[in-house]
Amino acid sequence: MVNTQKIQEILMNSIFEVFEKMFFVFLEPVDEDVKYDLISTINFMGPINGEVKIFFTMGIAETMVQNMLSLNRKDVTEKIIEDCAKEAVNMISGNFLQKLDSSKVFDLSIPTYAKKAGVFTSQVQNQSGAIWNLSFESEGNLMAVSVSIPAEGQ
């Protein structure tokens, strides 16, 4: 397995690339908890198996939709936010896995979405396998990304 620092670097580059090019959102890494409103998740299977989750605040999700689709705030609907959140996790996962190992084939599940509030913390609890938790800020809005590869997925 590739070293954890290299995987984190690849993941950060994938997140920045997708958010800057697709959503015109420029993220800065932060070391703080994120009080999120929405979660989008996708699983991947292949040479390694795992899961990617994005934890969105409503503010960053609305900004993504407005920027990507050139909509006014009043035209942003929950269905559009759901589609955008699912597309974001799909694009980040695809970009990340391609950069991780372009010679391998990975299968991605259909992204899921949940309107669920909570607090994301970057602290990894006692868990088997590998996990990368990253928090970001953009114009006062927060979001987080978590990639986990269970021990049996390595």
Per-residue pLDDT tens over the stretch 49-58:
999 999 999 9
Confidence of residue 128 (pLDDT cuts 50, 70, 90): low
**CA-to-CA dists, residue 66 to 78, 92, 116, angstroms:** 12, 19, 21
pLDDT digits (tens, 9 = 90+) for 113-126: 999 999 999 776 54
What whole-number distance in Å separates Cα of residue 15 and Cα of residue 100? 13
* Ramachandran sector of residue 126 (left: φ over 0; alpha: ψ -120 to 50; beta: rest): beta
- Which of 25, 105, 121 has its CA nearest to residue 65? 25
pLDDT digits (tens, 9 = 90+) for 131-151: 999 999 999 999 999 999 887
Report field, pTM of the whole predicted structure over 0.85: yes
SS3 annotation, 26-50: CCEEECCCEEECEEEEEEEECCCCE
Mean pLDDT is lowest, of 3-7, 20-24, 86-90, 95-99, for: 3-7
Domains in the chain, start-ordered, CATH in brackets? 4-153 (3.40.1550.10)
